[in-house]
Each structure stands twice: as structure tokens, then as C-alpha cells.
Structure 1
Amino acid sequence: MKTNRGGGDEALKFSSFFFMPERPRDYLVLFIRFSVIACLVVSVSLVLRATFLSSSPRDYSTTYGLRFTTVPQKSIALSPTGSIGPLNVSHILFCIAGAAETWIDRSQYTSLWWRNSTTRGFVWLDKPVNLPQNHSDVRFSIPIRVSDPGWTRFKFSSSRAAVRIARIIWDSYRLNLPDVRWFVMGDDDTVFFTENLVKVLSKYDHEQMWYIGGNSESVEQDVMHAYDMAFGGGGFAISHPLAARLANAMDGCLQRYFYFYGSDQRIAACVSEIGVPFTEERGFHQLDIKGDPYVYLSAHPLTPLVSLHHLVYLDPMFPNKNPIESLQNLMKPYSLDQNRILQQINCHEGKRQWSISISWGYSIQIYSYFLTAKELTTPLQTFKTWRSSSDGPFVFNTRSLPPDPCQRPVTYFMDGAEDVRFYGTKTRYSVADKNFGLCENNTEHSELTKVKRILVTSMKMDPEYWNKAPRRQCCEVMEGGRGKRKENEMLIRIRKCKSSERI
């Protein structure tokens, strides 16, 4: 009974706590008690919710840009890139095809553009290579890997090395490195201009399947292999989702397409099975030509320069320099204005009717007579086709070199570049003989040959230039100078074309 009374008393106290105020001021006390209880309930709910969320799996791929993937026995898992924000060079994994026998020599080309602090990727060799003892040379610090030996089990008809090189995409993808949006393939003598590569790839959604590159300049090469194919020497880019599917399908494709010659042809066939088309970007240069690439590069298409290939087999880009020295020379102006390198700007010197074509950071051609803009943007043919060394055809128009030496241009090559604070850049060009022949008894041409040096000034190109509809810029010859400058030197300013201006 006592226990029951105690229970009854407690129940009475509990009910009175909430429902039985005896005096008016007790209503205020009751309101305060209700508020305290409500706050406690809300606090407990929040604590329980936080505890539940903390025990749930966390998406580290979104938080830290990392990717955790389970790799099954028979196939490679398809995983998202797990990264957000603008593309930069660290999102690109370079997959460079090399060979132990030639790597020490070819590493000179890769070291021109590889930066250990920012560049990610590997040079894939067929076997280990013995590097020189002097490891202070930057080219011997480029990461090297040996291809998985599984490639040796696949049959082939003509090129055994092509099987291994095609499988490099499988080797690279299975490393499962974090925050990779693009896999970029290239050869050990391919020179990439990485800032421009980032600019080009930024146009595309890396979460979609993309296959991007350039084809051959020689029609005979495209007919033999394929027009709708990215040629491997010029380099090509494969987005992460496509790389995942390509890695899973690669071994089967190698079995089916054993009769193809090149690794790039095998990859193109496999990409076609996945249903992804080839997207051409004209800044990737296979350079399937022989001879002098000078005039072809001097009439570069209106697009960022992304890559150069086969330079070891071509005449040096600059006179009196070997291929490596030529590339080192080109890298000087490139470091100052990446967007503008090799961009062609055309104008006329009004008084003397000279036609001027500038390939910024590389060369200048001046004709002693009037040429239209269409003619200036069409390269003179100073080269042959890659396979048969014939005069064509090519996948672009060419102009024949005029038989009369007086109708040929006087050529100048870049020999200095500097950054100008608050203004832009200055590049200097000196006259150089391209063996175009000696012009005699021609007054206009003789007047032109007096110009020995040209100074070109320009503002740096807007970083957003390539995100807009592209238009060639204009140039003009500036008057004035000191001493013999009027006769022996020329000053040219590059600027934006006026709204109604025509070249």
C-alpha cells in the first residue's frame, strides 16, 4: 500500500508539474518548464542525427578529390574521376611510349616539356634501361615504368611493339591514380605544349567519353590507316570514362585487330566498337611530311599549338641549329605567351606594297609585292609526303614555290624574346637564308633585302581568346627609328583588328 501510495503521489506530482497550476504566477513557471523540455528534445534529436550521419559511408572522392576503386579479377572497375573545378595539367596522366634501346637519346625531346613538379605520368618501356650515372640531368628523372609482360601473349602480323604500345592505356588505367580526368598518349619524340593542351581539353566535359587528337598531314597515310583516327605520334587524349571502358575491352580488341600495323590503329578500332567518334583538334601535329617543315609551321591554323612530332626526321626548324636546339629556341617565346606561339598574323606595308606574314615566336616572311590574305595563309610547299616522298596530296592546301627567286619571300627567324612589363612582349627576328635563290636586278627586292632585323611588339593574348570565336589579329609597320633603323630595321606592332578592318 505504501508503495502504491508513493506511486500515486509521484503520479500526482508529475501531473501537477504540467497541468495543475494553483496560482496565476504558476502559469509562467509552467511556460518556462515547457520551453526547457522542448529545447532538450531538439538537442537530443540533433545529437542522434549527427551520430547516424557519422556512421554512414563518407564520399571521400568529393571531399578530398581521391578515388577508391575495387579492381576485380577479370575486369577493371569503372570509377568516376572524383574531382571538381577547372582543368589543370595535374589532371592529365601522360602515357608516353618508348623503348629501352632508344630512350636515352629520345629523352631529350620529353625533357623539353616535362616538369617533375607538375607533370604526371610515365614513360613505358619494353624492358629496364641502364641510365647514366649522372642523375642530375632532368631527363633521367622522368618516371619510367616497364610494360606489363602480358602483352607478349597477343599475336601480331607486322609490328610486335605496336601491341605493347596499344596496351599502355591498360597499364596506365590500372594504376588507379587519383584525380585523373584525361589520359594523353604520345611517343618519346612527341613534344607537348602542356598549357595549350589544357586549354584545348578544357572545352570538353571530362565526365563524358571523348577521343581527341589529329590525323596525318599526308593523304596517303590517312588512306592507308584511317581518316577518322588520332595518330599516336601527334598525341591524343582519352577522357577517364572512355579510358575505363577501353581498358576493359583492350585485350579482346588486340586479339581481333592483330592484322593492323600501328598501336593507334588498334586503339581507334577499339574506340569505334565502344561507339565513340573521333574528334579532331588541329593543334595536334603528327608531321607526316619529309624535308623542311618551315613554311607549313609558319602558316599554322588558327588554333592553339598542342604538339609536334617527327622533328628528328625533319630539317631543323631554325637555321644553323639542330632539332633540340630549335625546340629550345621555340620554348623561349612560348614561355612568355603560350596562347600566341606560332599564330599567324598578316599585314601589308602600304607605301611599298610589301606583304608580311608573321608566325609569332618563330619566323617572318616578307614579299616585295602584294599577296592576298588567302594566299598568305596557304603554306608554300617546301616538303614531301611521309611515305612516298611525293609532292602530295596533303589534307591542306599548298602553294608552289615560285620559280623566280625574286618572287620568293625574304625570311627572318626569331632570335630573341623578352617580357615587357605593363605592355606585353618583344620578339626579335634576323634575316636568314632559306636557299630560296638569289634575286638579281630587282629594285623592289633589293630594297627589301636591306632589312636585316625586325622587332615585333604585342600585348599578351587574352586567356579567354580561344573560348570565343577566333579571329586572326592584325599588324602594322611602325614609322620612325634612330640611326640606320629606318633602312636596316623594321618595327611591327601586333594588335587587335578594328571592327571593319580587313587584311
Structure 2
Amino acid sequence: MLDPLKTSKFFVSSVTIKPVDLLVFLFKTTLAIFTLVSISLFFHFVFSNQSICLTSTISNNNQQQKFIAVNTSSAQAYGRTNLSHVLFGIGGSAKTWNERRLYSQLWWRPNVTRGFVWLDDKPPGGENLPPTSPPYKISEDTSRFKYTCWYGSRSAVRMARIVKESFELGLDNVRWFVMGDDDTVFFLENLLTVLNKYDHNQMYYVGGNSESVEQDVIHSYNMAYGGGGFAVSYALAAELVKTLDGCIDRYASFYGSDQKIHGCMSEIGIPVTKELGFHQVDIRGNPYGLLAAHPLAPLVSLHHLDYVQPIFPGMTRIESLKKLITAYEKDPSRALQHSFCYDLKRNRSISVSWGYTVQLYPYLETAKKLETAFSTFQSWRTWKNGPFTFNTRPVEKDPCERPVTYFWDRAESGNGDRTLTRYARHVEESGKECERLDHAPATGVKFIGVSSAKLNPAVWSMAPRRQCCEVINGGEGADHLVQVKIRGCHRFETVTPP
């Protein structure tokens, strides 16, 4: 058996460790262990906190992306807006409603369109109005509100509150409140095309300006003009009704109801979303030049039709509008859309305002001029030749410098989704025509036929581009009938004269 003392002596003598060295060794070992533990704890603290921050960041980003995704897809999630989602508020007067309702009856669809004309009193024969007329409501008393515009009418206060009173009816399934006047004509399919570009769950204020610069200077460039009509999304209407009555008093000096509403929009912080198809028609005289060079946008509304000449010559205003609507119904998205092209064989230019008019030039005209409206009208307030919010060009006095004019005559059924429209030669009331021999072949053309595929409303959600056209008939047939085909433009295609 080993002696413990001997064994101990053996190991000690074998290693020969001094007491001082043993203390140093123990100190260094302890220090190393402490350092190692400290470093481990440090990195654990850092990386665990980074993990917490990273997890929080990812979580927040995911929530934000989810929020954005929900909002950007909300319009699709709720489905397309149709007429049942639109509530119209039409401003009118009991004294004039029996005459003005003829305009509303052109576009109102009984049991389909929703809304009311808001009057100051019960109209004569109110119980016997035809079913084709919008139903009426009598506005609340507005005598408590201020109105200090010396040249205006207090009816502006009542008109401004139509959107509020319409909202407070509490009707279900309303996405948009659309305001207009009793002499406003709406083109419903195109109105829906425009509204479907926007999400009614967001705050949108959609409309157009006046055509006359003098009106925009006096009232505002940043306002949706009420006669041309404007649309307020449900989300915005919910905010607007809370402050509108206060705005009416704060903007008591403003002339019109649309100005007062715009004052409120400024306080809420919502700018107007401009759409070129809303037409205030702040012009006097003949609207031909404006309509024959319609902007690249769907036709949504026409206003002030009592103050301009009939759209088609030789007809009453109502007859003219019925004719335009008949053409519109054949292809709503294409109504008044402008296309032009060249007949290089005969050195002619052809400009088409679909469903309305065609202009035949016996010479090659530049695209810049062809897209510019003829100044057949004057400004709204001063009856001057401008300025307007779009370019115009004068109508030449010499008939040889003017195009031969044709108006929409009828439409025929085409193959599949194609439409064939015919335009008949119009002779001016003055009877003055160009007697030059080189002009005779053009004046000899009695009709112009236009073939086109129905325009898909989806094009208005794409980058805008005017469609192209081409002359398609042969040599002999063109003496009395010119046939034109409107189509989408080919890649790199331009309207460039030789």
C-alpha cells in the first residue's frame, strides 16, 4: 500500500512547483475565465438586442406593406363602381324646373339612377311630374347663414349644402356624391369610367375648370366648377359635412356654391383631381370649335346649354342633344374623340370628331393645327375671343381657307364590335363656298363614312394617346363618298405630312 505522505512528496518533488508560481498561475487562470465570460455576456447582450430590433423592424415593415396592399387593392376588393353606387345632387329652382328638367330627362334613368333635384319650393305640378324626371326634394331653410356677395344670389348657400343634405339622407351603398345643375347633361357610362379610376374609400374631389380664363382668374383655377359637375368620394363627404356650414359663413363673400365648397376643401387639404371630360361650357356663341377638338378624355358632362347655340345646325337645343346622345350610345367611350389623318393620293387632310363632325381639308394641314380648336365662340363674361384654357385658332373669312364640314347623320351596325357612322355635308347658312377649281373635288364629297371598333373603356386607365385613322376607299368611289377607318396607332406611327 502506498504511503499517502510519500505519494504526496513524490508528486511535489516531481513537479517542483513553487508557491509563488502557483499563485500567479491561479490568478491568470481566473482572469482568463472572467474575461471569457464577460465577452460572452457582451455578445449575447448585443446580438439579442439586435435580434429584438430586427424582429420589431420586420414586424413593422410587414404591417406597413400589409396596410399599403390593402389600400391599393381596395378598389378591386369592393368591385367596380356602378350607377347604384352614385347619388346625384342636382341644384335647381322651382320657378325654372319645368323647363330645365328637359335637360335632366335626357340622361336620367328611372329606377336606375339615384338622387334628387333640390329645389327651393314645391314646383308647379309637382305631383304630376313625369317618371322620366328626377324626383325632387325641398332644401332646408338657409336664412341663418351669411351671404355678402353683392352681385350674387343667396341661392348659392342652399346649393352649397346639397352635398351635406344628400349625405345626411343616410342612403346605403353610396360611394360617390355627384353634384350638378339642372341644365347639366351627364354621360353616365363615361362618368363611371372616370370614377372607377379612383378609390371611393380615399378622399377624392374630382371635376374640371372653366374654359374661360377670366372665370378662372375671378373664381379659381383650383376649383371644380359646379355646373360642369363634380364628384366627392364618400370618405371625403364624411369629412366635408362636419365643416361645411362653418365654411359657408367663413366664405360668405364668395359668389357661387362651388367656391364655398372649394373653400372647405382647402381647409381639409384636398386638391381637385382634374378630369378634362367635365365641361363647364363657360363660352358664348357656337360651341362647334370646342366639341370638334375635344380633349383626349371621355366626355362626362356638358353645362350652360341654354347659353350657346344648338350643337347641330337647324335643330333646337334639346333635339341637338338627343342626336348627340344617340351617337354617344353607339360607342360611349369614343364619343367626340378626335382623330385625323391624310389622304396623300389627293393631298387632303381629314379630321374626325367621332359621333359629331368631320372636317375635310383640300390640302395637307399640320397635326398641330388639326388638333387646335376653331374659335367659333367667345368668352363667358366679356364675349371676347379669349383667352381660354386651351389653344384656339381663328376661322378664316375666305371659304377657300376653311375645311368642308360634315355632321353626324346616322350609325349602322358593323361586323362584331365595329361601328359604321356616316357624316353628311353641311352647307353654311351664308351659302358662300369656295369657287376655286382645285377646291371643287372636296366640296363634291357628299358623305364621309367612318369605321371603328368600339373603344374599350379600359384605355382611359392607360397612358393617353390619340387614335390613328386612314383613308380606305379606292379612286372612283371617293368622288362622292370618303371612307375612313379609325384604329389604334401602329408602333412608331405618326401623323406626319410628306
Report TM bin, short chain. 0.7 to 0.9
**Is contact 1:292-1:382 (8 Å) kept?**
yes
**Corresponding residue of 1:499:** 491
Aligned with 2:181 (options 161, 184, 187): 187
Aligned with 1:284 (options 275, 278, 288): 278
**Is contact 1:97-1:186 (8 Å) kept?**
yes
Q: Alpha-carbon deviation of 1:227?
A: 0.5
Is the counterpart of residue 153 in structure 1 residue 144 in structure 2? yes
| Aligned counterparts of 1:172 and 1:160: Cα–Cα separation in 2 | 19
Structure 2 unaligned regions, length at least 5: 1-73
| Aligned counterparts of 1:296 and 1:444: Cα–Cα separation in 2 | 29
Is the counterpart of residue 463 in structure 1 residue 457 in structure 2? yes
Is the counterpart of residue 352 in structure 1 residue 346 in structure 2? yes
| Aligned counterparts of 2:295 and 2:434: Cα–Cα separation in 1 | 34
Change (3 A) 1:236 1:113: same
| Aligned counterparts of 1:226 and 1:436: Cα–Cα separation in 2 | 39
Aligned with 1:295 (options 289, 292, 313): 289
| Aligned counterparts of 1:334 and 1:105: Cα–Cα separation in 2 | 24
Residue correspondence of structure 1 range 435-474 to structure 2 within 5 A = 435=429, 438-474=432-468
| Aligned counterparts of 1:221 and 1:89: Cα–Cα separation in 2 | 32
What fraction of aligned residue pairs are identical, expressed as a percent?
A: 53
Residue correspondence of structure 1 range 243-282 to structure 2 within 5 A = 243-282=237-276
Q: Alpha-carbon deviation of 1:423?
A: 4.2
**Corresponding residue of 2:136:** 144
Change (3 A) 1:429 1:266: same
| Aligned counterparts of 1:478 and 1:277: Cα–Cα separation in 2 | 46
| Aligned counterparts of 1:312 and 1:144: Cα–Cα separation in 2 | 22
Over residues 150-208 of structure 1, what are the superposed CA-to-partner deviations in whole Å (9 max), with x where a residue is unaligned?
Answer: x1211212321000000111110100111111101000000001110111111111111
**Is contact 1:152-1:164 (8 Å) kept?**
no
Q: Alpha-carbon deviation of 1:485?
A: 4.3
| Aligned counterparts of 2:338 and 2:330: Cα–Cα separation in 1 | 17
| Aligned counterparts of 2:207 and 2:256: Cα–Cα separation in 1 | 16
Whichever residue aligns with residue 197 of structure 2, its letter is: K
Residue correspondence of structure 1 range 401-416 to structure 2 within 5 A = 401-416=395-410
Q: Alpha-carbon deviation of 1:467?
A: 1.6
Whichever residue aligns with residue 498 of structure 1, its letter is: H
Whichever residue aligns with residue 361 of structure 1, its letter is: G
Is the counterpart of residue 206 in structure 1 residue 200 in structure 2? yes
Q: Alpha-carbon deviation of 1:440?
A: 3.8
* Secondary structure of the corresponding residue to residue 204 of structure 1: coil
**Is contact 1:336-1:418 (8 Å) kept?**
no
Over residues 47-106 of structure 1, what are the superposed CA-to-partner deviations in whole Å (9 max), with x where a residue is unaligned?
Answer: xxxxxxxxxxxxxxxxxxxxxxxxxxxxxxxxx99x921111211110000100000111
**Corresponding residue of 1:74:** none
**Corresponding residue of 2:420:** 426
* Secondary structure of the corresponding residue to residue 417 of structure 1: strand
Whichever residue aligns with residue 156 of structure 1, its letter is: Y
**Is contact 2:470-2:484 (8 Å) kept?**
yes
Q: Which moved more, 1:394-403 or 1:175-184?
A: 394-403
Q: What is the TM-score normalised by the length of structure 1?
A: 0.80
Change (3 A) 1:178 1:440: closer
Alignment RMSD, CA only? 1.8
Over residues 454-482 of structure 1, what are the superposed CA-to-partner deviations in whole Å (9 max), with x where a residue is unaligned?
Answer: 1111111123211211211111112249x
Moved over 3 A (4+): 132-135, 137-140, 434-437
Aligned with 2:479 (options 472, 487, 498): 487
**Is contact 1:336-1:419 (8 Å) kept?**
no
* Secondary structure of the corresponding residue to residue 429 of structure 1: strand
| Aligned counterparts of 1:418 and 1:264: Cα–Cα separation in 2 | 42
**Corresponding residue of 2:32:** none
| Aligned counterparts of 2:207 and 2:263: Cα–Cα separation in 1 | 15
**Is contact 1:439-1:445 (8 Å) kept?**
no
**Is contact 1:107-1:139 (8 Å) kept?**
no
Is the counterpart of residue 322 in structure 1 residue 313 in structure 2? no
**Corresponding residue of 2:82:** 88
Q: Which moved more, 1:257-266 or 1:394-403?
A: 394-403
| Aligned counterparts of 2:339 and 2:115: Cα–Cα separation in 1 | 35
**Corresponding residue of 1:10:** none
| Aligned counterparts of 1:449 and 1:436: Cα–Cα separation in 2 | 16
* Secondary structure of the corresponding residue to residue 328 of structure 1: helix
Over residues 193-252 of structure 1, what are the superposed CA-to-partner deviations in whole Å (9 max), with x where a residue is unaligned?
Answer: 111011111111111111110010000000000110011000001111111111111111
Q: Alpha-carbon deviation of 1:392?
A: 0.9
Aligned with 1:228 (options 218, 222, 242): 222
Over residues 383-421 of structure 1, what are the superposed CA-to-partner deviations in whole Å (9 max), with x where a residue is unaligned?
Answer: 100000011111111111123220101110001113324
Residue correspondence of structure 1 range 39-78 to structure 2 within 5 A = none
Over residues 244-298 of structure 1, what are the superposed CA-to-partner deviations in whole Å (9 max), with x where a residue is unaligned?
Answer: 1111111111111111110100100011111111111110000100011101111
| Aligned counterparts of 1:455 and 1:132: Cα–Cα separation in 2 | 46
* Secondary structure of the corresponding residue to residue 112 of structure 1: helix
Whichever residue aligns with residue 395 of structure 2, its letter is: L
Structure 1 unaligned regions, length at least 5: 1-79
**Corresponding residue of 1:238:** 232
Q: Alpha-carbon deviation of 1:330?
A: 0.8
* Secondary structure of the corresponding residue to residue 95 of structure 1: strand
| Aligned counterparts of 2:261 and 2:157: Cα–Cα separation in 1 | 10
Q: Which moved more, 1:162-171 or 1:125-134?
A: 125-134
Residue correspondence of structure 1 range 349-388 to structure 2 within 5 A = 349-388=343-382
* Secondary structure of the corresponding residue to residue 209 of structure 1: coil
Q: Alpha-carbon deviation of 1:450?
A: 0.3
**Corresponding residue of 1:394:** 388
Look at both structures and tell me which one has the larger radius of gyration over its CA atoms: 2
Q: Alpha-carbon deviation of 1:134?
A: 6.1
* Secondary structure of the corresponding residue to residue 143 of structure 2: helix
Q: Alpha-carbon deviation of 1:374?
A: 1.3
Residue correspondence of structure 1 range 167-178 to structure 2 within 5 A = 167-178=161-172
Whichever residue aligns with residue 158 of structure 2, its letter is: R
**Corresponding residue of 2:35:** none
Over residues 370-392 of structure 1, what are the superposed CA-to-partner deviations in whole Å (9 max), with x where a residue is unaligned?
Answer: 11111100011011000000111
Q: Which moved more, 1:392-401 or 1:456-465?
A: 456-465
Aligned with 2:124 (options 125, 130, 133): 130
* Secondary structure of the corresponding residue to residue 392 of structure 2: coil
**Is contact 1:230-1:264 (8 Å) kept?**
yes
**Is contact 2:100-2:182 (8 Å) kept?**
yes
| Aligned counterparts of 1:138 and 1:323: Cα–Cα separation in 2 | 22
